[in-house]
A and B are shown apart, each in its own frame.
Chain A
Amino acid sequence: MYTLANVKKDYQKGRDTVHALAGVDLVLEDRAWLAIQGPTGQGKSTLLQILGGLDRPTSGTVELAGQNLALMRESQVTQVRAASIGFIFQTFNLIPTLNAQENVEVALVPLGVGSAQRRARAAAALESVGLAERLHHLPSELSGGQQQRVAIARALVKEPKVLLADEPTGNLDEGTRDDIMKLLEKLWQDHGLTLVLVTHDSTVARRAQQIGIMRKGRLAIRS
């Protein structure tokens, strides 16, 4: 699914240049589950953003299903994100003014799905994560775990090929963390996703097929 070759990413911070990624090589097969671990500030989230086309590498190639995201126009990358990549964030990132169903529908809007079909698919997605009775609740009316479930439903409603999760359990308590991870694992199996999950939690990382350790901008894969 993914092939990364010598991917580097540099940032300017005042007069200094920060080398967030110092040359990452990665080959990720379809339906693989990779957990990326490492201390804070080692480039984990930067790598995830490049995998999701949210940022461009300074150099190197990032191929997703044979397409080099680094060379695509912004509009094309946006299209790939809309159709093929689902995101889950540590802070859930739900739209506060939309209810659970509408938050899930938001992911289908760029695909031109009609409103009736959107509503139906959103309801089905929320049912699959156990929130069938919370369709019309606003994020402020949901617990942290429930909000993350809505975010998962939003990521999966468009049936992506790839799911990128950035510290999905970072803001959750232990019990809820386990529930969410069980859910993610089930969905990964059921949907045949390629899952890349960034975490600093070893308990979460151990569930993955492969663990990658980010250190000083380089990725080392452990089976």
Chain B
Amino acid sequence: MFFTYLRRELRRRRRQASFIAVGIAVGIGLVVTVTAASGGVKDAQGKVLHALYGVGTDVTVTQSPKAGSGAPAGFGFRGRSGASGGTKIDADSLVNPSLGTLSSSSVTSISRLHHVSTAAGGLTLNDMKISGKIPKFSSSGGSGAPGGGGGGSFRGSIKSSSFTVSGVDLATGKVGPLSSGKLKSGATFTTSDAHSDVAVVDANYATQKKLAVGSTMTIAKTSFKVIGIVSVPQGSSPPDVYIPLARAQSLAGMSGKVNTIYVAAASAANISGVSREISGLLPKATVTTSSSLASEVTGSLSSASSLANNLGKWLAIAVLIAAFLLASLLTMSAVSRRVREFGTLKALGWRSRRIVGQVMGESIVVGIVGGLVGVALGFAGAAVVSQVAPSLTASVGQTTGSATPGGAQAAGGFGPPGGGGGPARTAASTTHSVAVHLTASVTLSAVVLAVVLAIAGGLIAGSFGGWRAARLRPAAALARVE
């Protein structure tokens, strides 16, 4: 009788029931879409972080450069006799791009901390090549001051190029920038390669420079053999070349030094504790976790995150509340129209709770139908978001203090004949920009949430209506003229 009565009653007022269901569906559809979009944004942020620091890295440790440590790199021909205009230059040097250094012993200390699963040191360097002839300077009168005065001109040809090199700790491959790479051809490093002149090259760089497995390339005037080609997640800005850390330290003259330490915690719950311990161990270092980095992400990804989490969330909540209120009002109104019917049932011996149960059952069914339609709308909304969302960019500033005094140095000019200096150490890029595509996908938990909300909506509406029905006095209800 319960289901028969319920079904017939909903059929009788199907227009009103549909209206209520649609209202609930819109609210729930919004909740599901916003949840999917938020999830997509979180995934995108995760991809950004993984692209920057590699899979498995929970904490990174860097150091602000010391004041004045940004002295220009020399290429060995300053003041060299004969280094005058017309002198040939062929320089190739591996330089540290304005990052502070940490000792390799810090890596060992960190790896011994409680709740640290793995710690690995890394060197991010620039290989700078300059070749050509020092230009001849001819002045047309005037002071002839080096580089100054007016009316001077340079004649000569200088070519320069650079690429990024990452020194990788081969003992712990689970963290660091190479950990997120996928091998496309050849092989990756083994621990026996620690002091070998072997390199793994980024796929895009290899394509650009026509490098393949077996090719040779020069790093800091040393010939390296390419043993593998690796691709990293789309949109990241990976190093061009990976070489063993020990070789990078040696070629850069930075033995026993690293400029980034990558740390994996034993579990996600330990990350903040590990971060605090490292800060205690290395008080002058900059310790960055995924969550602190996430808060520094700027760009359209950050805007999308704000949109989804703030506007989207509150809009969904507002619509849902409005839908529930409307459902409650309409249910109460429907109960008012059935006063005599419920009075008759009470006269026949139906208890209030049975009548309330009937009203709530009708509301819950409407809520569930609204919820199912809402989930379908949510799937559609998520698909639309994935289709129409533009590629999002995320920029993260390097937190090494490259803006501190003595840090970043602009490329210098060339000195006058007899005092040629090389270019100063170039400023490292202090911002990583990554492009990611937003994919909003509906998760099982979002569907469960939708169903729970739908049932809650039905219960709320049914409670209002049921309360009204329960309060009816049979005599007064039967006396009502309809």
Contact = CB atoms under 8 A, between A and B. Distances in A.
Interface of A: 45, 49, 52, 54-55, 75, 78-79, 81-83, 87, 89, 91, 93, 95-98, 102, 105-107, 109-111, 115, 118, 154
B475 A154 contact: no
B352 to A, nearest CB: 8
B345 interface: yes
Contact of B4 (A52, A102, A107, A154): A102
B340 interface: yes
A110 B349 CA distance: 6
A98 B344 CA distance: 14
B349 A107 contact: yes
Contacts of A55: 473-475
22 contacts: A54-B346, A54-B475, A79-B349, A82-B350, A83-B349, A87-B347, A87-B348, A89-B344, A93-B344, A93-B478, A96-B12, A97-B5, A98-B4, A98-B5, A98-B8, A105-B1, A106-B350, A107-B349, A109-B354, A110-B351, A111-B349, A154-B348
Contact of A95 (B5, B346, B349, B479): B5
B contact patch SS? helix
A97 B5 CA distance: 7
A168 to B, nearest CB: 14
A2 B431 CA distance: 94
Contact of A110 (B350, B473, B474, B478): B350
Contact of A78 (B11, B341, B349): B349
Given A89-B478, A102-B4, A97 B348 contact: no
A78 B351 contact: yes
Contacts of B345: 95, 106
B366 to A, nearest CB: 16
B74 to A, nearest CB: 95
B9 interface: yes
A115 B1 CA distance: 8
B341 A54 contact: no
Contacts of B1: 102, 105-106, 109, 115, 118
Contacts of B350: 78, 82, 106, 109-110
Contacts of B9: 97
A213 B257 CA distance: 113
A89 B341 CA distance: 12
Contacts of B5: 95, 97-98, 102
Interface in B9-25: 9, 11-12
Contacts of A107: 348-349
A15 to B, nearest CB: 20
A78 B470 CA distance: 13
A31 B316 CA distance: 65
Interface of B: 1, 4-5, 8-9, 11-12, 340-341, 344-351, 354, 473-475, 478-479
B343 to A, nearest CB: 8
Given A54-B474, A54-B475, A97-B12, A81 B351 contact: no
Given A49-B475, A54-B478, A97 B346 contact: no
Contacts of A154: 348
Contacts of A95: 5, 341, 344-345
B36 to A, nearest CB: 40
Nearest to B345: A106
Given A54-B347, A93-B344, A110-B354, 5 more contacts: A93-B341, A95-B341, A102-B4, A106-B348, A154-B348
Contacts of B349: 78-79, 81-83, 107, 110-111
Contacts of B8: 97-98
A82 B390 CA distance: 67
Contacts of A75: 351
A132 to B, nearest CB: 21
Contacts of A83: 349
A152 to B, nearest CB: 13
A75 B349 CA distance: 9
A154 B350 CA distance: 14
B330 to A, nearest CB: 18
B347 A81 contact: yes
B272 to A, nearest CB: 58
Nearest 5 A/B pairs, CB to CB: A82-B349, A97-B8, A110-B349, A55-B475, A93-B344
A186 to B, nearest CB: 23
A154 B346 CA distance: 14
Contact of A81 (B4, B12, B348, B479): B348
B420 to A, nearest CB: 100
A96 B8 CA distance: 9
A93 B475 contact: no
A207 B311 CA distance: 75
Nearest to A151: B344
A123 B479 CA distance: 30
A96 B340 CA distance: 11
Contacts of B11: 97
Which has the most chain B C-beta neighbours within 10 Å: A54, A96, A98, A115?
A54
A55 B347 CA distance: 10
Contacts of A111: 349
Contacts of A82: 348-350
A164 to B, nearest CB: 9
A87 B4 CA distance: 23
A66 to B, nearest CB: 20
Given A49-B475, A54-B478, A78 B340 contact: no
